[in-house]
Every structure is written in C-alpha cells, then in structure tokens.
Amino acid sequence: MDAAALIDTLHETHRLDRAQWLFLLSAHTPEDRARLAALARRTAQAHFGNRVYVRGLIEFTNHCRQNCRYCGIRRDNRALTRYRLTPEEILACCDQGSALGFRTFVLQGGEDAGFSDSLLCRTVERIKARFPGCAVTLSAGEREHSVYRSFFDAGADRYLLRHETADAAQYRVLHPPELSLAHRMDCLRQLKEIGFQVGAGFLVGAPGQTDETLAENLLFLQEFQPHMVGIGPFLPHHETPFATEPPGSTEQTLFLLSCIRLMLPQVLLPATTALGTAAAGGREHGILAGANVVMPNLSPVAVRKQYMLYDNKLSSGGESAQGLNQLRSQLDAIGYKIDWGRGDSPLVQSANR
C-alpha cells in the first residue's frame, strides 16, 4: 500500500476499508498531508464555494448529570459555578444574533434535569415563531426517543451529539460505566430516523486513542453518513481526572478534517472552538483543510467563563458573535467569506420548515 494512492482512492470513491484507513493514518508523509488538505479544500469549494456558514452558539446551561472524564462541566466538578439561562435570556441572545445576521441558533447545554424537556420544546417553538426562516440546532445530550421526537415536533431542525469515540474500549476510558457506546449510537440512529439533520463527531488525541481507534471513528462516520461532523482536539481541564493528560494534536485534527471532507464531500464540518483554542490560526487552518462552518459564541458574556469544557476555551474576539468583524478579516485573509444562508445540509430536501 501507498498513502498517496490511498488518498486518490478516497478522493474518487469516498471510502476506504479498515486496513486502508490504518495505513493512511500511520504511514503518511508531510507531502501526503499537504496534498490531502489541498484536495479537501478543493472539494469543499466545489460544493460550497469560498464560503463559510456561521452558527450562533448559545450555551444555555452548564448543569450536567453526566460525569465524562474529559469534560469541565462534569457532575463532579464542584469548583464550577452553575448557571441556567431562562427562555427569555435565550430569546434575548437570539435577538442579538438575529440583528447580527445569524440564521442558525445552536442551543447547547449539559444534560440538565432542571431545564425540563417541555421547557426546551416551548423555547424552540418561541425561537421559531419569532425568527421565521431560522434554523434551530439542539445539542443537549442523550434523551429518550419520545423526547427527541418532541424536540423535532417543536421545530428543532438539527441535533448535534458527538459519539466522542467509536471504539468501545476507548469509550470506557473516557466515560463512567453508566454510559455506553451502544446507547450513544442508538441515540444517533433515532435522531436520524426522526428526521433531524444529525451531527456526530469525536475527540482527537483523547486518552486511549490509537490509530486503530481513529480508523474505527472514520469507519463509523463512513457507515453512518451524518449531515454534520464536529471534531476537535482534546484539551485538558484542570478540574477533571484528565487534568494532566497531554492535549490532542492540531496537525492530526487538520489531517482528520481533510479525511472527513473527502469521505463525506457535502458534510457540514466546523472548524471548532477547540481547534481555535489549541493553536493560533487554528480555525483558519481548519477551513484550509476542508472545514466550512464556524460557530461564534452568542452566550451572555457573563456566563461564558462558566462554560469551560476545557482550560482556556476561547469565547471572545473572532470566537464571539460580537467579534464578527474580526472573523470577517480572518476569513478575508485566507480568501473566504461568511455565507449568511441557513446552511442546511445539501443532502436534505426542503429542510426549511
């Protein structure tokens, strides 16, 4: 096998088998990496032009009943001040976002029993009524099938639920015993079946990662065919069991972004905040590696420091919805522009509802 030939195969057929993924992950040269990024960039441009979709991210609660070992808002982090926005505060964020031009609002939060399912439904309904033609994305963890259904019926268009890792053994390293990869995958399948545009994704460089676990992640995405994929480097948080673990690599994240773009040419692929936090210019490099979405922070400034999933998480400047001019000049410098459309998955017919 030869990595350059595998890149051609991926570019032409959008798939590799396990042995091929493993070889590409473990045996590529810096030249292969550069060529992969160039092909991924060209593929993104063929489908989306030199344009990047923006989503306004509203971190509506940092209460969480889960205890994921990597995550700064895990249940056992007693050092954290917990907050929960009211529906009125969420709507006020959307007002600001709408005035700035945003047409997608992403409501992301921990698994918070104090923010009831019905309240979340009513909040989605109010957003959709107040901003006709906007899209609402939810990112609120694992729920019952009937609850996902009620979110969809309330008007939510998209749902982000990263699978975190598709390798069952690494999943157990990252999560407490009450969480299982099988259940995570069930949730993802249910979300797709209900009709959401669905986002999966994984942590890059989290403890327990090997080339085998990365190959498993790529094979899962290849099989599941999500509409959106969110990946970013694992970054340690000082109040978690992984406080002293080394961070994931920016370079490997960029390589994987390019692999995902060639595997899923039309996927909505964010250059994530974690990538922007891990390295200066990380988000721009992500776009040049095939990403086509950014998610500026639209949360109330007063709570941003409380939604620290990892240390030093960026939430100002070009990462903030209020810093759009900075984002514009960052994109301009690499020859890209903001696309102010809703940015639905091209794979979905008449997504606007």
Binding site for ligand 5AD (CB under 6 A): 70-71, 162, 164, 203, 232, 234-235, 237, 274, 309-310
Closer Cβ to ligand 5AD, 6 or 160, answer by number: 160
Distances (CA, A) of 166 to 24, 121, 318: 18, 30, 32
Smallest distance, ligand 5AD to C-beta of residue 278, A: 9
> How remote is the C-alpha of 293 from its chain's centroid?
9
Q: Which residues pair with 51 in a beta bridge?
A: 337
- Residues 6 or more apart whose CB falls under 8 angstroms from that of 1 comprise 19, 20, 23, 27
Cα-based angle 10, 164, 281 (whole degrees, multiple of 5) = 70
Closer Cβ to ligand 5AD, 97 or 232, answer by number: 232
Closer Cβ to ligand 5AD, 125 or 142, answer by number: 142
Smallest distance, ligand 5AD to C-beta of residue 69, A: 9
Distances (CA, A) of 80 to 67, 74, 236, 302: 14, 9, 16, 14
Smallest distance, ligand 5AD to C-beta of residue 232, A: 5
**Looking at beta carbons, which residue is closest to ligand 5AD?**
310
Distance (Å, whole) CA 350 – CA 101:
22
Distance (Å, whole) CA 21 – CA 7:
10
Closer Cβ to ligand 5AD, 212 or 311, answer by number: 311
Closer Cβ to ligand 5AD, 241 or 300, answer by number: 241
Closer Cβ to ligand 5AD, 22 or 136, answer by number: 136
For residue 119, the surrounding DSSP H or E stretch is helix 117-130
At 69, the amino acid letter reads: R
Pair 230, 191: CB distance under 8 Å: no
Smallest distance, ligand 5AD to C-beta of residue 28, A: 24
Smallest distance, ligand 5AD to C-beta of residue 70, A: 4
Smallest distance, ligand 5AD to C-beta of residue 342, A: 22
137: phi then psi, degrees, rounded to nearest 5: -110, 135
